[in-house]
A and B are shown apart, each in its own frame.
Chain A
Amino acid sequence: MPSHKIREIVILSGKGGTGKTSLVGALAALIPEKILVDCDVDAPDLHLLLAPQIQSREEFLGGRKAQIISQLCTSCGECRAVCRFEAISEEYRVDETACEGCGVCVHFCPFGAIEFPPVICGEWFHSATRFGPLIHAQLAPGQENSGLLVALIRGKARDLAEIKGIPLILVDGPPGIGCPVISSLTGASGVLLVTEPTLSGLHDLDRIVSLSRHFKIPPLVLINKVDLNPEMAERIEAYCRENGLSLAGTLPYDPAVTEAMVQGKTILEWSRNGLGEKIRSIWEQVQRQIITD
């Protein structure tokens, strides 16, 4: 058991491009004591705002892939017959982008002609930033097992929080509702859902709300770029009321967010009289709703 209580807040959205990473960057600048984790391991962007200095890097062995040793292969067809992923060609070559790593062909090859080596699927990093420690990763493009890599870096962040006595872990999550999202979400203290006032934003918000509730993680909603469509913003607020969801706040569209990103800065460092106060009050809401209960 840790000597102190660690809270883990995950930022998700369902739909991509709603502003998760820009928000996490701003919160990184705002909150004094925390560990940052970028769980969007196949398209990580948080490091572009935080300029991390990598202190340690490790390979991520994400699973195994079948490899046919052509000298031993008799082209008997057994592997092709048992593979459900159509990963073995007529020339008895394994398509590594189709191979699921199930090992069924390895087991059933009568000639022991299939090897099953572990594959390096990416790397993970422990870094220092101007806003504290960042645990992040890069899945090799086109690789699988992103959920496993997410679970691994969340575990590393938790270990670090325990050792350093840091009470908060802030997680920048991936888009969607599938494997890496589930892996980012399970066991977290709370989730902040960033949406935008569009039909797509609302549609995907509804899916991620259902997912949060499926895993019994209390969700809070933030409407970003709220002034781009006040009518849709009102609809999302009504959706939240009807579904018993608390609103953490709203943020206006601000071109300074992109300007800050181009400079490698968070919005809080870039624009002094812009979104800062609003983000501060959103964080207070999150603390009230998720952290103190």
Chain B
Amino acid sequence: MIISVASGKGGTGKTSVAVALAQSLEEPVELLDCDVEAPNGHIFMKPRWESRETVYAQIPQVDEAQCTYCRACSQLCQFKAILVLGETILTFPEMCHACGGCFLVCKPGALIPAQKELGEVEAGWSGDIRFVHGRLKIGEPMSPPLIREVKKRRDPNRVTILDAPPGTSCPVIQTVKGSDFTVLVTEPTPFGLYDLKLAVEVLDRLRIPCGVVINRADVGDRKVKDYLRARGLPLLLEIPFDRRIAAGYARGQSLIEIRPELKADMQNLFREIQGLLKETPQVRYALP
């Protein structure tokens, strides 16, 4: 089973919930931190690292001696990563999406595969919880290929929890795709609600069932709850604002370390998800 934790808005508590869930389950479990731009899960999991791999994308390098400046590559490339001007050919590795098209169209064989570093994937253990994360190289714009690498290291014999990045664009899609269920963590504020609605739209498009955790549930207003009711979305858990949680979080303590009684809540949440998945998951899509 794969459960992803996402939010739309940043800073709502995705990582706290993902870590708490991983630390509460009795089943064999793993946490994959897919927020490769700003990974924070390791701060709370404090894993004993076992492996570190550098991940590369295959990009073109030009063998000028072979190049006939025919422009086949630059005409094919949709990302402006190769430019031919007269008898000059330039590549822009930061623009390259590694689609491999240029190698295929280059008749003289002037393009040689070279590597561009995307970042690192590290794996290790936090007690008996497996932990994997990616760290995007500073200056590299594209995170989805690295997220794909993190997800490739999934152990299918464990419950997989995926900690997603904020937002609603391609890095989020890359993370949540293939999940059985997504937990959306929000806060009861106008920002939280607006971005929650966007996240729900993304999951609808991907046909992934979801439920919501409201964090800092006693600040802000009631509109998130009104929205959940109107959309027929399950409210899985409410976590009130608590200075002890804020202070512990600041020091790198997990929710379960600060408030051990939340473990039971997390186990209930997991059982509720299992129950929701046993019912027909399509039911939600029949709702307005």
A122: nearest chain-B partner, CB-CB: B169
A-B contact pairs, 6 of them (CB 8 A): A82-B101, A176-B171, A177-B37, A178-B136, A179-B141, A196-B250
Separation of A210 and B8 alpha carbons in the complex (Å): 25
A182: nearest chain-B partner, CB-CB: B141
Shortest C-beta distance, A119 to chain B (Å), equals 12
Shortest C-beta distance, B181 to chain A (Å), equals 17
Number of B interface residues, CB 8 Å? Answer: 59
Contact B138–A177 (Cβ < 8 Å)? yes
Contact B8–A43 (Cβ < 8 Å)? yes
Say which one of B124-132, B195-203, B255-263, B277-285 lies at the interface with A. Answer: B195-203
Shortest C-beta distance, B188 to chain A (Å), equals 9
B177: CB under 8 A from chain A? yes
Say which one of A26-34, A128-136, A238-246, A257-265 lies at the interface with B. Answer: A257-265
Extra contacts besides A15-B10, A102-B101, A176-B35 (5): CB < 8 Å:
A100-B99, A174-B167, A175-B165, A183-B141, A228-B247
Contact A104–B100 (Cβ < 8 Å)? yes
B221: CB under 8 A from chain A? yes
Contact B250–A108 (Cβ < 8 Å)? no
Separation of A174 and B138 alpha carbons in the complex (Å): 16
Separation of A102 and B136 alpha carbons in the complex (Å): 22
Shortest C-beta distance, A46 to chain B (Å), equals 10
B15: nearest chain-A partner, CB-CB: A200
Q: Mark B171-184, 1 if CB is under 8 A from A, else 0.
A: 11100010000000
Separation of A37 and B105 alpha carbons in the complex (Å): 41
Residues of A within 8 A of B243 (CB): 228
Contact residue among A48, A85, A97 (Cβ-Cβ distance under 8 Å from B190): A48
Separation of A177 and B189 alpha carbons in the complex (Å): 25
Shortest C-beta distance, B218 to chain A (Å), equals 11
Contact B167–A43 (Cβ < 8 Å)? yes
Residues of A within 8 A of B101 (CB): 82, 102-104, 107
Contact A178–B191 (Cβ < 8 Å)? no
A97: nearest chain-B partner, CB-CB: B173
Chain B facing A: main interface SS: loop
Contact residue among B12, B76, B168, B249 (Cβ-Cβ distance under 8 Å from A42): B168
Contact B220–A262 (Cβ < 8 Å)? yes
Contact A200–B40 (Cβ < 8 Å)? yes
Known contacts: A43-B195, A48-B194, A108-B104. The answer to whether A177 contacts B38 by CB under 8 A is yes
B98: CB under 8 A from chain A? yes
Contact A198–B250 (Cβ < 8 Å)? yes
Known contacts: A182-B139, A229-B247. The answer to whether A264 contacts B190 by CB under 8 A is yes
Contact B205–A142 (Cβ < 8 Å)? yes
Q: Mark A108-120, 1 if CB is under 8 A from B, else 0.
A: 1000000000000
CB within 8 Å of B: which A206-264 residues: 207, 210-211, 214-215, 228-229, 231-232, 255, 258, 261-262, 264
Shortest C-beta distance, A250 to chain B (Å), equals 15
B112: CB under 8 A from chain A? no
Contact B167–A175 (Cβ < 8 Å)? yes
Residues of A within 8 A of B98 (CB): 84
Residues of A within 8 A of B195 (CB): 43, 45
Contact B10–A141 (Cβ < 8 Å)? no
Contact residue among B15, B35, B246, B252 (Cβ-Cβ distance under 8 Å from A228): B246
Contact residue among A14, A15, A141 (Cβ-Cβ distance under 8 Å from B205): A141
Contact A101–B78 (Cβ < 8 Å)? yes
Residues of A within 8 A of B97 (CB): 100, 102
Separation of A253 and B167 alpha carbons in the complex (Å): 24
Separation of A12 and B21 alpha carbons in the complex (Å): 29
7 closest pairs, A vs B, by CB?
A16-B10, A17-B11, A102-B99, A176-B37, A229-B250, A104-B101, A179-B141
Contact B167–A197 (Cβ < 8 Å)? no
Residues of A within 8 A of B221 (CB): 262
